[in-house]
Amino acid sequence: MLARFVRVGCLEVTFPDGTMRRYGRDASDPLCLHLRDTALLRALVRDPEMALGEGYMDGRLTIGGDRLHDFLTLVLRNRQAGGLPAWARGADVIRFALRDWVQRNTPGKARMNVAHHYDLSNDLYRRFLDTDMQYSCAYFARPDMTLEQAQAAKKAHIAAKLLLQPDMHVLDIGCGWGGMAITLARDYGVRVTAVTLSANQLELGRARVAQAGLSDRVDLRLMDYRKLTGPYDRIVSIGMFEHVGLPQYQTYFGKLRDLLTPDGVALIHTIGRVDRPHRPSGWLTRYIFPGGYVPSLAEVAGPVERSGLWLTDLEVWRLHYARTLAEWLKRFEAELDAVRATHDERFIRMWRYYLTACQATFEVDRQGVFQVQLARRADAVPLTRDYIARLSATGPVAAQ
């Protein structure tokens, strides 16, 4: 299997019995993989992706020089070259066929999925996120930006597309720890209703709102978006659409239309694939984001068209998330002593694998970020895009 799979780069594998074999033609910079038991060999043949992640988490698979990023990049490049065996490709087809069932995400299931990831520990997220705790792709408008500056630029860019005016009522779907809601209320003078399904996020978000003196302008709720009633002048949703689930897309966009005022505008910020629809990652689904899915543009476009909304602007960010993840990983590694006080080594290896695998995916696979601007009327936003750069640069001043 490895002889067929490794077409790019070079992989040196030490097997459980001590045998070492080399795969690939380019031996200038080989990656050294150590496999510790025969059960892992069988697992790698049956389900390579799951076995790689689990083997690394358990310490049964190690990489020389701790070159996890280089190793996962090699795996992704060779996967693109089509070297997986037929049975592994067949398993991908089955997972693709089952994705609607896996992502059915009823209200009860959605709450459980969110709790699995976001209710781990607020302290854990503080360790590696920026000071505003933005857990989504930053916008590196300049190459010399810090993570904090790039996250602030992301918020300003989104606010520009929302065309905010003081005292507008804004809905934030999937508000995280309240950073965007606080920014919009404080800097743009709007009222914000923000919803999350994470109890941990809600508790800290409300505390942050109170500390900012914005309790009269920001209302954070533990609520499923499907239970909301409107209308709202603006809707923003950052990094939440990945958790909606493919079977719920029509419900989601129909709900956006129902919640918007006739001249309302919505901005959806989501990870997306610039490729054909793809099966979800089995390892990520089991350990990190149950019920999660990264859509292709085609999978988004159909439900938008059927909802009756206008697609007024579409922007695709390339490589911004790779840099964001690299910053998160660096901060996570710098905080390992503190993380070890509350989490074991298996969790640390799982989290490192998650952040590194996602970084490598955004670097070498056909994955980016979509910003989808929607409106109920064709003239709800200006007819050219000039205003976006202008309002992004001037920020809150333009909204006052």
- How far is residue 325's CA from residue 54's CA, in Å, rounded to a whole number? 21
Strand residues in the chain grouped as ranges (E): 11-14, 20-23, 31-35, 61-63, 169-173, 191-196, 218-222, 232-238, 260-273, 310-317, 367-375
Together in a domain, 83 and 118? no
With both helix axes pointing from N to C terminus, report the angle between 179-188 and 199-211 in degrees, rounded to the nearest 10: 30
Does residue 25 carry a pLDDT above 50? yes
Could you tell me the CATH number of the domain that includes residue 127? Answer: 3.40.50.150
Q: What is the pLDDT of residue 102?
A: 66
Q: Give the C-alpha separation, 344 to 363, whole Å.
A: 29
Provide the CA 197 distance to its chain's centre, in angstroms: 16
**Mean pLDDT in the chain?**
93
CA distance 94 to 113: 22
Q: What is the mean pLDDT of residues 78-101?
A: 69
Same domain membership, residue 68 and residue 28:
yes
Same domain, yes or no: 202 and 81: no
What pLDDT does residue 113 have?
78
Domain of residue 71: give its range: 2-97
Average pLDDT over residues 207-218: 98
Mean pLDDT lowest among 88-97, 327-336, 342-351, 371-380: 88-97
Question: Are 235 and 381 found together in one domain?
Answer: yes
Answer yes or no: do 138 and 279 share one domain. yes
CA angle 114, 204, 139 (to 5 degrees): 70
Instruction: Give the confidence band of 103 by pLDDT, cuts at 50, 70, 90.
Output: low
Given 3-state DSSP classes, what are the helix, strand and coil percentages for the chain, each rounded to the nearest 5?
50, 20, 30
Q: What percent of the chain has pLDDT over 70?
A: 94
One domain for residues 203 and 349: yes
Q: What tens digit of pLDDT does each residue of 260-271 get?
A: 999 999 999 999
pLDDT digits (tens, 9 = 90+) for 352-366: 999 999 999 999 999
Domain match, 90 and 109 both: no
Among 97, 124, 156, the domain boundary falls at 97
- The answer to whether residues 121 and 85 belong to one domain is no
Same-domain check for residues 275 and 385:
yes
Q: Given the structure tokens 């709790």, which residue do they identify?
A: 115
pLDDT at 95: 65
For residue 400, with 0-12 CB atoms within 10 Å meaning exposed, 13-18 middle and 19 or more buried, which class applies? exposed
Whole-model pTM: value is: 0.93
92 has pLDDT over 80:
no
Residues 66 and 116 in one domain: no
pLDDT tens digits for range 36-46: 999 999 999 99
Among 66, 97, 128, where does a domain finish?
97
The residue to which tokens 């978006």 are assigned: 225
Q: Is the pLDDT of residue 398 over 50?
A: no
Domain end residue (candidates: 39, 70, 97): 97
**Would residue 358 show up in a list of annotated catalytic residues for this protein?**
yes
Confidence of residue 393 (pLDDT cuts 50, 70, 90): confident
Catalytic residue among 10, 32, 137, 358: 358
Q: Which residues contact 324 (CB under 8 A, 6 or more apart)?
A: 137, 138, 147, 150
Do both 225 and 293 map to the same domain?
yes
Long-range contacts of 273-276 (CB under 8 A, 24+ apart): 273/297, 273/366, 273/367, 274/316, 274/366, 274/367, 274/368, 275/366
234 and 341 share one domain: yes
pLDDT at 5 over 80: yes
What is the count of structural domains for the chain?
A: 2
pLDDT tens sequence across 321-359: 999 999 999 999 999 999 999 999 999 999 999 999 999
